[in-house]
Structure 1
Amino acid sequence: MPQGLMLSDLAIAGALLVVAKLLRVHITLLQKIYIPSAVLAGLMGLAFGPAGFDVLPWTDTFTANAGLLTAALFSALGLATDVPSPKTVAQRAGSLWAFNQIASVSQWLFAAMLGWLVTSLFWPEINAGLGVTMSAGFMGGHGTSAVVGDIFGSLGWEDAFSISLTFATVGIFLSIGIGMLILQVALKLGWIKSFTSFNNMDDYERKGLVKPSEQQPVMKDTMSSLSVDAFAIHAALVVIVTAFSYVSADYLSSFHDKVQIPTFVTGFLGGMLIRIIAQQTKASKYLCDGAFNHASGMSTDYLIVFGISSIKITVLANYLAPMIVLALGGVLFTLWLVLWVAPRILGENWFEKGIFSWGWLTGTVAMGIALLRIVDPNMRSKVLDDYAIAYVPGSITDIFIISLMPFAMYHGMQWQALGVGLTYIALVLFIWRFVFNRTSKTATQ
């Protein structure tokens, strides 16, 4: 079990978030670059923390908070996740599922192989798993970066934590910056007729606020306060599953000294198990997904603050050149996925799905949503609905990749990882071409 979140650390992170949000609301430049408040708060924590001016009174163990929040994030996600039927996936989101699988697996493989190549040829003193930190940061965001960093740390490469979190932070800026350039090119090529520019947004959208008339309740009040506050039960479930993630991960990892089960895996699966039990016992009628979704969102924001604040600048100086090479390679490869592969798989509304995919392949799902809202403000393309359906079966693959890829690259199993990854991509293409397409046509008829 890790040490719990210290109140002082939580207070500092909270204060940084409040200040960052106020800056985001009142400084136009920050609005134009669409920087999330949590990222801005993390950058301030980095600047005024041990790596910078060292004026923030963080505790000595504040860097461990990111790992605990990652477990809470995936536990809350599991509690809010339904498993769609294969028929629903095939009819509604088969092409998006296929593209997501091909894009995510190929990005992991490309990054891992590129990292292996450049370290072998030019920087043999650097760990061969360097490329994995890039894909973890780009595709997975700060949550996955913390997981991969922790796995590498348990194997003896502690620098990976700072490197992967740096890639995640850089990916946020690349996601929006290059994403806006993609929108400009798409407009000139006729892929889209128009998009909502910053100047056309209302004041609330620019500042990242919800108009008072459009604000919605955070959760349903499913229990009588005479008995217990509904939020207390939802929070209790998140905490219980998070604790379970550590206990079960430690237990499963005890069977072999070379097997290390990440807590995010057991947290996500534990949350899904609780959800299935609640559905079977009809208790799900008294649970609110909105509460779990906000719990995962809150965990993500605080995770970003702690994660960025704990980056070691001195470590990055030793890896700067190979990190630049990896970032450039990752951007070019992801552009190829979005602009060449996407139109050949996604079919109708391919660009809307593609620009959303660019967002989460380089930054986070939130960045993908931000770009999607610019080109499809009324959400007529139903991209988010399809993504929600495709997410669960796709997330199972992500769990395996995130858990096993660092081990494979660290222990010199590059060719085995490449062979398994390419075989899986071929299988996905077969399913998409001969199963999903046929099912979709039958449903249409």
Structure 2
Amino acid sequence: MLSNWDIFTDFAVAGGLLLIGKWLRANVILLQKLYLPAALIAGMLALAFGPAGLDLLPWSSAFASNASVLTVMLFASLGLATDFPSMHTLMRRAGSLWAFNQIATVSQWAFAAMAGLGLIALVWPELPPAFGIVMPAGFMGGHGTGVVVGETLQGQGWEDALTLALTTATVGIFASILCGMGLMHLGVKKGWIKNFATFNELSFTERRGLIVPSQQQALARNGVSSVSIDVFAMHAAVLLLVTMLGYHGAKYLSSFHHMVQVPAFVAAFVLGLVARLLMRKSQANRYFDDAIFSHATGSATDFLIVFGVGAIKITILMNYALPIAVLMIIGLLFNLFLVLVVAPRILGDNWFEKAIFSWGWLTGTVGMGIALLRIADPKMRSKVLDDYAIAYVPGSITDLIIVSMVPILMMQGMAHIAIGAMWVYVAAVVAIWLLFLGGKNRLATR
């Protein structure tokens, strides 16, 4: 039986690996040139020295389940730090980026589902019907979405799905950086970007992923007196409460029918939005700081990657080695098509900076997109992150629906409904872009 100290030990070990990963990132030139995040380095160490490798780490028997809890907490913190933009702001400021995000996101899922069914029909008939979607689950959402989709598919009877989704998430991070750097060199050659920062042009501190003292900023705004309560304790209390209510709320809503499965991360995200609205209505938001909730999201993501990569089961992965390799190659080629062919026709000014950022989150995580953008646009003149922040929130609703419903539909023999609905949505977004976001004019001027 697990004790509280077993769980504490899991997080302490993961924390130690993160510190080692950061030390290696700051001191090993190769890791700096690859722009690998410390969390991924720590995750690879967890895989090498954990149960799938040398088995030297004192993990508890249920250490892999920590990733599930962190995923729910991650989405709870996202909800607590998220504001919905007005329709006017969305359409005027970030309409084209919203359209591209939606087209890229949903078409990747639809294409992957079709590719998986094609591989099943032509080469590997023994694969489960949802095989194809483990690629976008890991590529687009990183390890967080990989955990959600993997566990959903496990609940539908495919036990190996979690390992495959975590594998695609891990490979996706490597691909986002390695292929992303290749894309940027192509962009320089073609004249698509002018401000590309090579590794040699970065300062010694920037290469190590550190910030010099003169440029360091305060972590957060302190809205309460420590005489009454510590500011981090107050934020943590809200985050933990929303996470807990999200888990139990999803469990309750899913108890009515076996076909109704409400993911805990969706419930946590919605409750986070509700809590934020209540704080705004009561003016309590004056004493909370979005920066703290955003750091909670980042912290949960870092620990999630460590547990997620460490939970990959090599023996299971080897059984799927060839089909999963083929699937990921197909996925990378499709994403290259989106970035090099679709993006320049939709994104308008600074299209390449927006596209290289999009490549990062299409294959890895938003963090990888930001890392690539800082190299392509070191002075952030393109304002891509500002536009993405506006476009993300309405787009996230689509993500939640896809991640919640598509895995179940694919496993329940309703793949044609899921795929057809996704392509209809893509067509609808294209129509909106053409009719209301200046798409016709942009195409006419090319």
Q: Does 1:78 align with 2:103?
A: no
Percent identity reads 55
Task: Give the secondary structure class of the aligned counterpart of 1:6.
Answer: helix
**1:86-127 C-alpha deviation (Å, 9 max, x unpaired):** 111001100000000000000011111101110222111111
The residue number in structure 2 matching 1:179 is 180
| Aligned-residue offset at 1:437 | 2.8
Where in structure 1 are there 5+ consecutive unaligned residues?
Answer: none
AA at the equivalent of 1:247? H
The residue number in structure 2 matching 1:420 is 421
**1:273-306 C-alpha deviation (Å, 9 max, x unpaired):** 0001111111111110010001011000000000
The residue number in structure 2 matching 1:294 is 295
Alpha-carbon contact 1:241-1:267 (below 8 Å) kept? yes
Q: Does 1:242 align with 2:233?
A: no
In structure 1, distance between residues paired with 2:302 and 2:294:
12
Q: Give the stretch that moved more between structures: 19-28 or 187-196.
A: 187-196
The residue number in structure 2 matching 1:383 is 384
AA at the equivalent of 1:360? W
In structure 2, distance between residues paired with 1:78 and 1:38:
23
The residue number in structure 2 matching 1:52 is 53
In structure 1, distance between residues paired with 2:290 and 2:128:
41
| Aligned-residue offset at 1:436 | 2.8
**1:411-430 C-alpha deviation (Å, 9 max, x unpaired):** 12121112111111111112
AA at the equivalent of 1:118? L
The residue number in structure 2 matching 1:221 is 222
| Aligned-residue offset at 1:153 | 1.2
In structure 2, distance between residues paired with 1:418 and 1:11:
42
What root-mean-square deviation, in Å, do the aligned CA atoms of Structure 1 and Structure 2 show? 1.6
In structure 2, distance between residues paired with 1:198 and 1:406:
41
**1:53-92 C-alpha deviation (Å, 9 max, x unpaired):** 0011100010110000000000001000001111110011
In structure 1, distance between residues paired with 2:131 and 2:116:
5
| Aligned-residue offset at 1:3 | 9.4
| Aligned-residue offset at 1:255 | 1.2
| Aligned-residue offset at 1:184 | 1.1
AA at the equivalent of 1:308? V
**1:236-275 C-alpha deviation (Å, 9 max, x unpaired):** 1110011011111011101111221111100100100000
The residue number in structure 1 matching 2:402 is 401
Q: Give the stretch that moved more between structures: 255-264 or 86-95.
A: 255-264
**1:196-232 C-alpha deviation (Å, 9 max, x unpaired):** 0001100111111111111111111100111111111
In structure 2, distance between residues paired with 1:396 and 1:81:
12
Alpha-carbon contact 2:43-2:308 (below 8 Å) kept? yes
Q: Give the stretch that moved more between structures: 119-128 or 163-172.
A: 119-128
In structure 1, distance between residues paired with 2:194 and 2:383:
18
AA at the equivalent of 1:327? M
**1:136-164 C-alpha deviation (Å, 9 max, x unpaired):** 11111111001101101111212110100
The residue number in structure 2 matching 1:102 is 103
Q: Does 1:359 align with 2:360?
A: yes
In structure 2, distance between residues paired with 1:152 and 1:219:
39
The residue number in structure 1 matching 2:136 is 135
The residue number in structure 2 matching 1:312 is 313
| Aligned-residue offset at 1:361 | 0.2
In structure 2, distance between residues paired with 1:66 and 1:375:
32
Written as runs of structure 1 = structure 2, the 5 A alignment for 1:426-437 is 426-437=427-438
Alpha-carbon contact 1:141-1:364 (below 8 Å) kept? yes
AA at the equivalent of 1:167? T
| Aligned-residue offset at 1:356 | 0.4
Corresponding residue pairs, total: 440
In structure 1, distance between residues paired with 2:422 and 2:359:
21
Change (3 A) 1:3 1:338: farther
Alpha-carbon contact 2:195-2:378 (below 8 Å) kept? no
Task: Give the secondary structure class of the aligned counterpart of 1:354.
Answer: helix
The residue number in structure 1 matching 2:169 is 168
Alpha-carbon contact 1:245-1:270 (below 8 Å) kept? yes
Alpha-carbon contact 1:137-1:144 (below 8 Å) kept? yes
Change (3 A) 1:8 1:68: same
The residue number in structure 2 matching 1:275 is 276
The residue number in structure 2 matching 1:87 is 88
The residue number in structure 1 matching 2:213 is 212
Q: Give the stretch that moved more between structures: 24-33 or 5-14.
A: 5-14
Alpha-carbon contact 2:26-2:209 (below 8 Å) kept? yes
Give the ranges of 4+ consecutive aligned residues of structure 1 lying more than 6 Å apart after TM superposition: 2-5
The residue number in structure 2 matching 1:255 is 256
AA at the equivalent of 1:113? M
Alpha-carbon contact 1:120-1:128 (below 8 Å) kept? no
In structure 2, distance between residues paired with 1:85 and 1:194:
32
The residue number in structure 1 matching 2:36 is 35
TM-score by length of 1: 0.97
AA at the equivalent of 1:422? W
Q: Does 1:68 align with 2:60?
A: no
TM-score by length of 2: 0.96
**1:315-363 C-alpha deviation (Å, 9 max, x unpaired):** 0001011111111110110000001100111111101000000010001
AA at the equivalent of 1:268? F
In structure 2, distance between residues paired with 1:208 and 1:307:
23
Task: Give the secondary structure class of the aligned counterpart of 1:156.
Answer: coil
AA at the equivalent of 1:288? D
In structure 2, distance between residues paired with 1:318 and 1:169:
18
Alpha-carbon contact 2:176-2:368 (below 8 Å) kept? yes
Alpha-carbon contact 2:103-2:426 (below 8 Å) kept? yes
